[in-house]
Structure 1
Amino acid sequence: MVGQSLAIRRAIRLIEEAALTSAPVIITGESGTGKERAARAIHDRSPRQNRPYVAINCAAVPESLIESELFGHERGAFTGADRRREGCFERADGGSLLLDEITEMRPEMQAKLLRVLEEKRILRLGASKDLPIDVRVFAASNRSVRQAIREGRLREDLYYRLNVYTIELPPLRDRLEDLPLLVEHFIQEFNREHKKRIQGIGQDCLDALRAHAWPGNVRELRNVVQRAVIRCPSSILSARDLPMESVPSHAAEAHFIVRVGSAMWEVERELIFRTLAFAGGNKARASNLLGMSRRNLYNRLQRYEVHETNGHLNGHPYRNGRNGSS
């Protein structure tokens, strides 16, 4: 887990706390934020680190097979069961099990899972005798668990059984100050993998990355940096090394000229306006780019008597995300 932003430091602190226990953990966050990595980090720092770690994506397993995947089956338990098979709980015995996208598991299966967590015993399909198990469970979801409960996607009793620790991983757009550290981390990783010698990242490249929306979060950033490292012909990544879909059309215009003798308030005002335009009117991204809190940005906007209409700057040449000439 790489970063220094408040949001990621809070998540890391919870990971470190959870690692000292064997309590269940719920990990939430958008797709690509690193939920599986967080679960693995807890396991690797826990007393169970030398025991098995098993992960299963509940959304990827057909409903007809999920019980067998979790609890195993005996030979002849159903058509095609030509041998006995251990499920995820048996394979993870003594260690940890990640149930990814748990809200995609049907409610009746969640009820069986709750019984297993409470009794610490499983029954293979087709078996007559249950087995004791000792497994620490991580449950992950890219949905809000509270909303999933309201929608009937997550049983409330199962939620309360799992909700000892809850770790929420922030989307990349809310932690843009971590971009340089993340990029450097991935550069080092892919230098080793692809026998490259990239030494750093240019400001134009960093500006383009900061202006991107990152719907795929850290997973998307990792993929973009890998492609850039492979394509880069020099020792410094530049914007032209990035995949075209990762470069905003206005990234090349992300500069303006400050004339000697300009008043400081005028420069600050112009910088705020242009950064808002650069960020497409998104104040959260603009405040991250400017290195100030959102409240501070709002105060500045009020001070300069900037009014907004339908989310766009009103009465300014850079409204609707268009930059003026430098």
Structure 2
Amino acid sequence: MANQEKVLIVEDELHALTGLAELVSGWGYRTDTARDGLEALEKVQAWQPGIVVTDLKMPRMDGLELLSRLSEMKQDQAVVVLTAQGSIEAAVEAMKIGAYDFIQKPVDPTRLKTILSNATKQRETDRELEITRRKLRDSGQLGSLVGSSKKMQELFALVERVASSNVSVLITGESGTGKELVARTLHELSSRKAKPFVAVNCAAIPETLIESEIFGHEKGAFTGAMERRAGCFELAEEGTLLLDEIGEMPVVTQAKLLRVLEERKLRRLGSKVESPVDVRVLSATNKNPEEAVASGQLRGDLFYRLNVFNIQMPPLREHKEDIPAIVETMLADMNRKHERNVTGVDSDMLNRLLDYDWPGNVRELRNTIERAVVLCGEGLLRPSHLPPGFGSKSVKWTPETVSSGNTIEVEIGSTVDEAERRLIIKTLESTNNNKTRAADILGISLKTLHNKLKDYVKSKGPDSVGVEE
């Protein structure tokens, strides 16, 4: 099948260069070759290829320097790097400075063909989306993300920068800030948009089942495995997989995940056969990933592989000027969902929304607006449509150590761990030990809450908790 995309192949070893050129030409691409980075730069400027496939180790100018020079020249080629076995770190570094993808030597023809096909589709997608992106940016919206503030515009720029790549992205930020929205937007702006987007919450799956959920299993692989089942990787084939709450994944499973990411091959539980996978993996966590690595909850090598690019979500309290636009978008959605006709928000209620610090972030704002829309039905939302006691729950820091009502007061000089313990216990007391409700209020997973309570009992005894674990 003819393909008009131009591919420049850069390799100093003549036999490998010739072989790759013949292979790629056989797939219908127009090809040219270069023996090092300097020659490649000349070819790029004169021939303007759409894709550059380059070795990393070359004389005169290596692949990393070539990639940097192309970036400085604001060239828009998709760059695929070739790396030797055991040189994943160099490939990851190349991805950080703009490479589209990487492939290990000796080159797997099937994988290379897939990468070139995806890169070609991505370039077509980029051209189609550019006008739409410009319009969305001007209106303060990018995919499902809304906001005209400086922080949101910076976020939009980061999302656009990495959406067209195959790079792994770690999305961090407080609970409720919209990490999954960012993941979905990355998917929608990529060449994989027509393929599945699969999100899995690692904290919501029991440890005994998580490997089966992610990797799949064969019939009879374990007790209760009555039939063959595809895992999340297979369900997301050629699309995007979001691993939410990655810090909650068992360490043993993390090791198997790392192998899949590095080798791009998957083996179901109970199977002896490995199958190639073509999935872009995104991950998210509301924890500090460096602290999770230090505590042993997250493998350092997996963190390094997932965190090729990091997107930090700002809490809503840091860009409150976006609340009116976010609410307007939510109202349109809620009117459709609940068949209501709410036309807007009156000034008193808007001021109440702007004065509140939103510890639950955009998720809490959405829940608040949804409740108000259902109550109101039509016309303007007013303060009477807000939940009882709205805005009164807060964490108060004073020199005293007395706890009362819906606040906690912590002595200056107390550790963060001690303040967190008091907040968790107070929240549990306020929910009559309803851990699911407490975890939701605290913005953490139920599994994380149970783990913290166990740690408190283990370190200080049952009396340190004061509520039934």
2:23 — aligned with what? none
2:310 alignment partner AA: T
1:80 — aligned with what? 224
TM-score normalised by L of structure 1: 0.74
CA distance in 2, matches of 1:217, 1:35: 11
Identity, % of aligned positions: 50
2:184 — aligned with what? 40
Q: Does 1:160 align with 2:304?
A: yes
Q: 1:154-303 residue pairs with structure 2 within 5 A?
A: 154-232=298-376, 235-248=379-392
CA distance in 2, matches of 1:177, 1:144: 26
1:49 alignment partner AA: K
1:247 Cα deviation (Å)?
4.3
CA distance in 2, matches of 1:234, 1:89: 44
Question: How many residues were matched structurally?
Answer: 253
Q: Does 1:68 align with 2:187?
A: no
1:248 Cα deviation (Å)?
4.3
Structure 2: tracts of 5 or more residues without a match: 1-144, 398-411, 413-469
CA distance in 2, matches of 1:61, 1:233: 37
Q: Describe the SS at the equivalent of 1:208.
A: helix
1:3 Cα deviation (Å)?
0.9
Q: Describe the SS at the equivalent of 2:341.
A: coil
2:271 — aligned with what? 127
Q: 2:193 aligns with which of 24, 49, 58?
A: 49
Q: 1:92 aligns with which of 206, 231, 236?
A: 236
CA contact (8 A) 1:208 1:248 kept: no
CA contact (8 A) 2:215 2:231 kept: yes
Q: 1:231 to 1:247 in 2, by over 3 A?
A: farther
Q: 1:68 to 1:234 in 2, by over 3 A?
A: closer
CA distance in 2, matches of 1:55, 1:31: 16
CA distance in 2, matches of 1:113, 1:169: 25
1:198 Cα deviation (Å)?
2.1
CA distance in 2, matches of 1:189, 1:170: 23
2:286 alignment partner AA: N
1:51 Cα deviation (Å)?
1.0
Q: 1:124 to 1:211 in 2, by over 3 A?
A: same
2:258 alignment partner AA: L
1:50 Cα deviation (Å)?
0.8
Per-residue CA deviation, residues 162-218 of structure 1 (Å, 9 max, x unaligned), is: 122211111111111111111111112112222322222112101111222312110
1:141 alignment partner AA: T
Q: 1:82 to 1:234 in 2, by over 3 A?
A: closer
CA distance in 2, matches of 1:193, 1:234: 14
CA contact (8 A) 2:167 2:280 kept: yes
* CA-atom RMSD in angstroms: 1.9
CA distance in 2, matches of 1:200, 1:65: 45
> Bigger shift: 132-141 or 151-160?
151-160
Q: Describe the SS at the equivalent of 1:235.
A: strand
Q: 1:77 to 1:211 in 2, by over 3 A?
A: same
1:105 — aligned with what? 249
Q: 1:123 to 1:233 in 2, by over 3 A?
A: closer
Q: Describe the SS at the equivalent of 1:244.
A: coil
1:293 — aligned with what? none
CA distance in 2, matches of 1:128, 1:234: 60
1:150 — aligned with what? 294
Greater RCO, 1 or 2 (C-alpha within 8 Å, sep 6+): 1
CA contact (8 A) 2:340 2:378 kept: no
CA distance in 2, matches of 1:65, 1:111: 16
Q: Describe the SS at the equivalent of 1:112.
A: helix
CA contact (8 A) 1:214 1:221 kept: yes
Per-residue CA deviation, residues 228-267 of structure 1 (Å, 9 max, x unaligned), is: 1122265221111111232449xxxxxxxxxxxxxxxxxx
Q: Does 1:137 align with 2:281?
A: yes
CA distance in 2, matches of 1:58, 1:233: 37
CA contact (8 A) 1:171 1:217 kept: yes
CA distance in 2, matches of 1:165, 1:46: 16
TM-score normalised by L of structure 2: 0.52
> Bigger shift: 231-240 or 202-211?
231-240
Per-residue CA deviation, residues 267-288 of structure 1 (Å, 9 max, x unaligned), is: xxxxxxxxxxxxx99xxxxxxx
CA contact (8 A) 1:28 1:140 kept: yes
1:221 Cα deviation (Å)?
0.5
CA distance in 2, matches of 1:206, 1:147: 38
CA contact (8 A) 1:239 1:247 kept: no
CA distance in 1, matches of 2:198, 2:338: 29
